[in-house]
A and B are shown apart, each in its own frame.
Chain A
């Protein structure tokens, strides 16, 4: 291609003439400058390298002070981590009074209501507790059905004509309604010393009375026991109304007996009445 460009016959002459233009020598300063600048550029350390390789002269007292400051700060930091303040609630002293509150325990109480029908032909039998001096012995009807009579048929048989029954004999001063069946079974009211004693002893706690009566070698103790047993029989039959006749305290006894399920069995000696003679004599 180059030969094609120089195809003109004048061009070799012109070319030779142009070649006579001489260029001056390259100044030595150029070589030094270029080489110097090249070294400066190549050896130029980047900023991040300078950051890690450069050094600064620091006076020794300043270094010591800084080291001490760092030690103190580190110790404080460690202390703050190891001894973190515990957030405790402020101590509140309260004067608390301990009061004993008795909470009543409601115990189950089973009450059976017995409804009786009134018969027109039979007046109501009313009982009243009489003073010992005017006490009369009452015997209910249906003696044969009475547990006492069952237990002691002979006694009843013996005593029947002598006892004064108040059946169908309403006393004007006695107007208390009385259940018929239960009364007929168990009610004994007597002014005998044993009966009085028994009634009076109803004031005692039921257990003590029963124990005392049953453990007593005396006759009247057995009477009392039997009386109490009859009473408890009534009570055990859930007929508390009868018990009310024997006084207000007997009610408590009856209730306790019901709650404690104390059951007295009548221990009736067949000869107990006979052994006491007039004490059980009818009026």
Chain B
């Protein structure tokens, strides 16, 4: 069954369809939210809100424009940015996008040198500006195409590609010892 038919049935009270739809896209939304906010509670809350809003307003989803996975990722992104702005209301996304100083980056990275690789990567990604971070997450972890990422982040493909390139460069710098070490 397609996502659209499942959503339609779930909106009309078919619980099995909803469960199927939820299990199909639950992990993507949760992972994306978690990697954006790096908080299980927030990711859980965002995942919950995304599916509830989908059921409450199923007409907002247009299967002709994008897939349900893209739609849910966009919804999770919006939810994440809402919470982001709540936590730091005076900081805009553009300001956040300003690349941090090398010195400031180095010190936490060094503090996590002994931590697990997962934590290293997590911290490295956390150091990325949000726009670059979401691009990396969607591209590297969720394996969305550039067009899908552009759909999620509401930007054109060139912008996404640029953000992705800069994010990689930054991650390469940040994770260079681990990359060399792995080699």
Contacts and interface: CB of A to CB of B under 8 A. Distances in A.
Interface stretch (A33-41, A84-92, A168-176, A182-190): A33-41
B71 interface: no
A27 interface: yes
Contacts of B136: 18
A37 B179 contact: no
Contact of A38 (B15, B117, B140): B15
Contacts of B40: 24, 27
A18 B10 CA distance: 36
> What is the interface residue range for chain A against chain B?
20 to 34
Interface in B8-27: 10, 13, 15, 18-19, 22, 26-27
Given A10-B172, A14-B179, A23 B146 contact: no
Given A23-B31, A42-B13, A14 B146 contact: no
B114 interface: no
Nearest to B18: A38
Interface residues of B, number: 43
Question: A interface, by DSSP: helix, strand, loop or mixed?
Answer: helix
Contacts of A116: none
A36 to B, nearest CB: 10
B182 A17 contact: yes
Contacts of B125: 18, 21
Contact of B35 (A2, A14, A23, A34): A23
A16 interface: yes
A92 B26 CA distance: 95
Contacts of A8: 168
A155 B13 CA distance: 146
Given A18-B136, A21-B121, A21-B141, A5 B55 contact: no
B118 A20 contact: yes
B60 to A, nearest CB: 15
Nearest to B31: A23
- Which applies to chain B's interface (DSSP): helix, strand, loop or mixed? helix
Contacts of A21: 35, 117-118, 121-122, 125, 141
A22 interface: yes
A279 to B, nearest CB: 145
A26 to B, nearest CB: 5
Contact of A27 (B13, B22, B44, B121): B44
A5 B161 contact: yes
A34 B161 contact: no
Interface string B62-101: 0000000000000000000000000000000000000000
B139 A5 contact: yes
5 contacts: A1-B146, A10-B179, A14-B179, A18-B141, A24-B40
Interface of A: 1-2, 5, 8, 10-11, 13-24, 26-27, 29-31, 33-35, 37-39, 41-43
